[in-house]
Homo-oligomer: A and B are copies of this chain.
Amino acid sequence: MDKNDLIVRFAGEGGQGVVTSAEGLAQAATQTGYHAQTFATFPSQILGGPTWTQTRISINPVLSSGDELDVLVCFNEQAYSNHSGSLADQGVIVYNSAEFELSGHDDAIGIDFDALAKSTGNTRAANMVVIGALAELVTMKQDILDEFVTKKFTRGRPNDEEIIKSNIKAMNLGRNEVKDRGISIGQLKPPQKPDYDQVLMNGNVAICLGAMHAGVDFYAGYPISPATSILVWMEKNLPAPNKFVHQVSSEIEAITALVGAGFAGKKAMTATAGPGFSLMSEGLGLAWMAEIPLVVVDVQRGGPATGLPTKTEQSDLISTMFPAHGDIRLPVIAPGSVEECFHAAVTAVNWAERYQGPVILLSEMALSERNQNMPKPDLSKVPVENRIVNQNTNEYQRYDQLDVSPMPIPGGPGSYVANGSEHDGIGDTTHLAERHVQMTHRRWNKIKVLEDGDFEVDSIDSPIALVPWGGTKGPTREAYNKLIESGADIAWLYTMFLNPLPPQMIENLRQKELVLVPELNYQGQFSMILRSLGVNAISITQYTGLPFTVKDLIGRVNQQIESYKQGHLKI
């Protein structure tokens, strides 16, 4: 049986090599021409604790981490009891026989990962034993894996060759164990090697790289899961002359420092999660009112309050779009894949510069730790924008126009007061009714320059549309593809630009009889916003702390369409 993809879950204790094996498989697969995606969960304790990571590799772009497992790799017994239920009917178990014995199971292959690695003279090659076994299970050719190992370990050190050899040996030892058992789960179709360069990274790194490319030169942040890795990455990689990065003492310090930096000419960014975001409320209102460019990344986790720090959710949409008191509605970009994380970060910085105000990059736990392959961006083709800077004399009225106007930078001409109270042209506080009206119009006009976001469309003529957002894009697209294959008549619309939404997309959506919005929250936050825009939207919600499975989505979409057709669905 020929297979398009292979879904493997690695499960065990934190520290047993769960993550390195899963990422190793993804790397090997990508390098050999497959597409790959990993999905990671975390134990809540610091050392040890049950954890698992899933890798899916495919000859096609990977849209979700996959519902049912082809292979479950168990690093300990608890992993078996927790996860064997997720195995597909034909699924196979590979387990660490040094940890436990699995009897009475035909399709279970016990391997002593560490002992085999040790026998190659390279104790760190245990993950290669596992990868070799997996390769054999789907009859993957060894030569492409040899190539992967050779490339990976050619690092210009004297012992490169030795290490390469031991790793290849480890793989073959793993293969042999499977061969000996004569178990196979079919042949994974050979990949098509792409003719472009590829990178493999997670969503948080993609955000960092996008931000750096866009010119972020001021970063202040406070640790919080799952955004901490952005702070850590920036601390390591941003320092350079005229660039500033610093761990500050709270999220309030972070956001207000960004206001100062954005005012003084920097491209300023911070990253946080829900609890930190809530503390930035007042500062974001100030940035909107005083018209200061800056970017806040919210990597969503389970909420409310301290919530579920290690679980994924999409429940910060309303509070990031409307983060503070008064009339305010911030630009929000929510990427749907690792590749989109990169582009969302570039655009977030560009938008902030373009409209001179705060922009939200709304990511989520599931993206932040997901490794995914993508074409290596050609940076020279990803445009970077800079704010219009005032060159006028001192008489300049910074706030007077009804549209985006050149921004004076301290030290340069056009001194004014950047003011969080209502103000006149030079930023002096005022209470005049006409000024409040004028400035309100100015603030809302300015966002119109951001109405150039693009969106995806398929089967545009269908009266029913499927419209996911953020990380729910992938599983929804996979479900959509299957629904279309099975003859369903459904349109697809998707954008990462949640505010302002592309105007043409709103127009399209308004014409639909029914818009189904899968999203990971209780209230159905995006469909609420769509309904407020005059769209007949209704949500398909889930709030388990986990992403949707494709199977569930297909079932629920069919069910909603059915009840709509029977007139039972009330919007």
Contact = CB atoms under 8 A, between A and B. Distances in A.
A307 B570 contact: no
Contacts of A434: 544
A440 B523 CA distance: 10
B319 A275 contact: no
Interface in A343-377: none
Contact of A420 (B288, B306, B433): B306
A48 to B, nearest CB: 15
Contacts of A279: 281-282
Nearest to A436: B545
Query: Of A278, A279, A521, which is in contact with the most chain B CB atoms at under 10 Å from its CB?
Result: A278
B302 A289 contact: no
A534 interface: yes
Contacts of A325: 274-275, 277-278, 298, 300, 303-304, 315-316, 319-320
A533 B571 CA distance: 8
A310 interface: yes
A288 B305 contact: yes
A124 B32 CA distance: 94
A85 B282 CA distance: 39
Given A437-B543, A544-B436, A545-B436, A421 B528 contact: no
Interface string A304-330: 111111110101101110111111110
A529 interface: yes
Contacts of A523: 327, 329
A289 B304 contact: yes
B543 A532 contact: no
A240 to B, nearest CB: 33
Interface in A256-311: 274-275, 277-279, 281-282, 285-286, 288-290, 298, 300, 302-311
B278 A305 contact: no
Contacts of A44: 429, 431
Contacts of A316: 325-326
Contact of A286 (B290, B302, B305, B420): B305
A546 interface: yes
A433 B41 CA distance: 13
Contact of A421 (B308, B440, B543): B308
Instruction: Count copies of this chain in the complex.
Output: 2
A531 interface: yes
B310 A318 contact: no
A188 to B, nearest CB: 31
Interface in A172-193: none
Given A278-B325, A433-B546, A534 B571 contact: yes
Given A277-B325, A319-B322, A326-B315, A421 B570 contact: no
A431 B522 contact: no
Given A433-B546, A531-B531, A532-B531, A274 B326 contact: yes
Contacts of A114: none
Nearest to A524: B532
A444 interface: yes
Nearest to A325: B274
Nearest to A433: B544
Contact of A278 (B281, B327, B533, B546): B281
Nearest to A319: B325
Interface string A418-445: 0111100000010101101100100010
A255 to B, nearest CB: 11
A447 B157 CA distance: 65
A152 to B, nearest CB: 34
Given A278-B282, A433-B546, A436-B311, A303 B322 contact: no
Contacts of A436: 302, 308, 311, 543-545
A424 to B, nearest CB: 13
Interface string A490-511: 0000000000000000000000
A533 B532 CA distance: 8
Nearest to A543: B440
B281 A545 contact: no
Interface in A526-567: 528-529, 531-534, 543-546
Contact of A281 (B281, B303, B306, B313): B281
Contacts of A311: 431, 436
Interface of A: 44, 274-275, 277-279, 281-282, 285-286, 288-290, 298, 300, 302-311, 313, 315-316, 318-320, 322-329, 419-422, 429, 431, 433-434, 436-437, 440, 444, 521-523, 525, 528-529, 531-534, 543-546, 570-571
Closest 10 CB pairs of A and B: A303-B326, A304-B326, A274-B325, A305-B420, A289-B305, A433-B544, A278-B281, A278-B282, A528-B532, A306-B421
Given A308-B431, A327-B522, A532-B532, 7 more contacts: A278-B325, A281-B319, A303-B326, A305-B420, A310-B431, A319-B328, A534-B571
